[in-house]
Structure 1
């Protein structure tokens, strides 16, 4: 297994929320255009909002799935935000799955 992305928020970095969301969009778009794709992207905490119906990165994530990236969104987190029925890309995962994927990865990169 190559590397894994762990996405824990809607935006990239701390500070201005709108800037962070633009940076996350830009990062994921750049990733989808590149050659160095992760094996998995794990969405936890507020990051799960990026796999739902209104997410501005939804089409980018669908492109990544089409290119072979596996996407999991945290079930506990989706329940917390009442978003389980709004997932539009990837699968609903759990902490056991996250733990196994991260343990087997060569590297885990956290975005948040």
Structure 2
């Protein structure tokens, strides 16, 4: 693991077709472990991105695998509240804006998905 954090601001990757964006996000998460450079230390989920960590998400198995490998998964608590998802968080833990911003500031590199 290196000093890289991944910032996920939505449940889709890119703009345009929503179905394609969803497939691309799932592929990106699945391939984080396979990409060169080692695993990130953290994956930070914000806005719609928190949905990826909740019950019913197609990304849960891959996210749980990353968590088991030592990647810390943090979901914005305000976002979980906004979408009424606090009781559905199934991978990682709830975090605060202060912690999420702090991790980005301290990281050697931030990758935005």
Shared fold, TM over 0.5: yes
| Secondary structure of residue in 2 paired with 1:72 | strand
CA RMSD of aligned residues (A): 1.1
User: How far apart are 1:50 and its partner, in Å?
Assistant: 0.3
Counterpart contact for 1:32–1:60, Cα < 8 Å: no
Counterparts in 2 of 1:12-31, with a 5 A limit?
Answer: 12-31=13-32
The residue aligned with 1:85 is 87
For structure 1, the 5+ residue unaligned runs are none
Question: TM-score, normalised to structure 1's length?
Answer: 0.95
Give the length in aligned residue pairs: 111
Question: TM-score, normalised to structure 2's length?
Answer: 0.94
Which 4+ runs in 1 deviate beyond 3 A?
A: none
Counterparts in 2 of 1:1-112, with a 5 A limit?
Answer: 2-34=3-35, 36-111=38-113
